[in-house]
Amino acid sequence: MAENTENRTENGRPQGYVRIYHGTRMFPRESRQVPFDFSEFYGYVSRYVKGQEELVNILAVVFRYVKAVYRNEDFTADRMLLAGPSSSGKTYTFQIIREYFRKMDIDIPVLILDTTAYTENGFKGKDTDDMYAEIINAAPHSHAIVVMDEFDKRLIPSFGASGTDYNRAFQGCMLHVLGGEDCTTRIDGIPRTLVARETFFVMAGAFSDLRGPVGTGEDVPCCAADNYRRTCVGFVTDEPAPAAEESTDTYRTISREDIIARGAMTELIGRINYIYNLKPLDRDAVAAQVREYVEEIGETLQVCVTISERALADFVDLSYGDMGLRHTKNTLLQLVNDAVARSLINPCSGTSEYRITGPDSVSVRPFRKARPQKPPRG
């Protein structure tokens, strides 16, 4: 049967169709109205992600992507890089976006992948073909937001015994993906294609080696001179580095030039449309987040959970560590879960209150509702 070549887009695809599953099979896709407006979207996410001036810009890019998908436009998805310290909300922002999409029944999955788990094809462990398969399984139409967490770890030279720079090889694979080339892999023996130009990739990383410790004012200069000892043929050198200017801005913005000097391929960083720097949250914002975690854990375990002010301060300090707020949340969850498990052995009558009193302590006491105040006597 002769193929109809009328009404095709510039890239050769029929208008109103998208290539999925087996690379050449076509399925119709109608234009739809986005079921929410930007102000509603921003209002929801900003209730959870606080203290980030760049949030509105990040969400604007996400919203444009959703509109392009829903309106059946012929488009190339953006590539974004988020640079920010632990507890700044890089992945948490997209967890909330995923939650909102599910609430609004938006059929665009949000995947958060640990980039350090993948290698170039042919090396031991999971490779980029496995990554393509995960995306295709979650989004057969290739419409997805893929957050590549810990991406900064793959931008530092890492040499094996054979002298191969494994991270450079991985960057070479990602160069094709971010460039929009179709990626074909086999899933259960069947060839499947990821249309990478229609997948929105977000690279996220702390870039902690380019920054000084929180609150110390000891900024690591973000320049080629600072990275000289790290990037000289991939090995440490004892030669003196070129002079670098002093800086007192502990969390100044990181630029493309800084990332390239750190070891990233120029062509790879050149494919990134947006770079947004997230700042560390202040203590009040982190404390508010910890309180929300406590409330969420209580709902999950179906118990009453509270936290003392002293314990709250301890967990705020913990959140500024290398593992960030995710570590704080998991520590709180395990702490309360273990206390609940112990109380199941010797249950008490009535409802119990689980009060977090320290980083490793939870007290259990009968829950007492506040007594209503009596009206003053006339």
Render pLDDT for 6-24 as a digit per residue (tens, 0 to 9). 444 444 444 443 443 333 3
**Which candidate, 306, 360, 371, 295, places its Cα nearest to that of 334?**
360
Cα distances from 222 to residues 155, 205, 212, 228, 268, in angstroms, run: 15, 15, 10, 11, 19
Domain-embedded: residue 372: no
Q: Are residues 261 and 326 in the same domain?
A: no
| Burial (Cβ within 10 Å: 0-12, 13-18, ≥19) of residue 160 | exposed
Domain-embedded: residue 374: no
Q: Are residues 292 and 236 in the same domain?
A: no
Residues 155, 230: contact at Cβ < 8 Å?
no
Residue-wise pLDDT for 271-314, tens only, equals 999 999 998 878 888 898 899 899 999 999 989 999 999 999 99
Q: What percent of the chain has pLDDT over 90?
A: 37
Domain-embedded: residue 78: yes
Cα 114 from Cα 149, distance rounded (Å): 5
**Which candidate, 247, 219, 279, 275, places its Cα nearest to that of 88?**
279
Of 277, 296, 320, the last residue of a domain is 277
Contact residues for 152 (Cβ-Cβ < 8 A; gap 6+) = 83, 205, 206, 207, 208
Residue 35 has pLDDT above 80, yes or no: yes
Domain-embedded: residue 243: yes
Of 277, 307, 334, the last residue of a domain is 277
Q: φ and ψ at 91, to 5 degrees?
A: -80, -30
Domain-embedded: residue 144: yes
Cα 325 from Cα 335, distance rounded (Å): 15
pLDDT at 57: 97
Q: Are residues 271 and 291 in the same domain?
A: no
Report the CATH number that the domain containing residue 113 is assigned in CATH.
3.40.50.300
Q: Are residues 195 and 57 in the same domain?
A: yes
14 versus 360: the higher-pLDDT residue is 360
pLDDT at 368: 58
Q: Are residues 250 and 230 in the same domain?
A: yes
**Which candidate, 66, 79, 17, 10, places its Cα nearest to that of 37?**
66
Q: Are residues 128 and 168 in the same domain?
A: yes
Q: What percent of the chain has pLDDT over 70?
A: 75
Residue-wise pLDDT for 154-208, tens only, equals 888 777 777 777 788 888 888 889 999 998 888 888 999 999 999 999 999 988 7
Q: How confident is the model at residue 124 (pLDDT cuts 50, 70, 90)?
A: low
Q: Are residues 187 and 287 in the same domain?
A: no
Domain-embedded: residue 375: no
Among 56-60, 125-129, 317-321, top mean pLDDT goes to 56-60
Q: Are residues 109 and 226 in the same domain?
A: yes
Report the CATH number that the domain containing residue 294 is assigned in CATH.
1.10.8.60
Amino acid at 341: A
Q: Are residues 264 and 296 in the same domain?
A: no
Domain-embedded: residue 2: no
Q: Are residues 327 and 196 in the same domain?
A: no
Residue 362 has pLDDT above 60, yes or no: yes
Q: Are residues 250 and 305 in the same domain?
A: no
What is the extent of the structural domain holding 82? 17-277
Of 277, 301, 316, the last residue of a domain is 277
> For the chain, what is the domain count?
2
Tell me the pairing of strands 304-307 and 352-358.
Answer: parallel
Q: Are residues 266 and 245 in the same domain?
A: yes
Average the pLDDT over each of 57-71, 92-106, 351-365 and give the range with the smallest value: 351-365
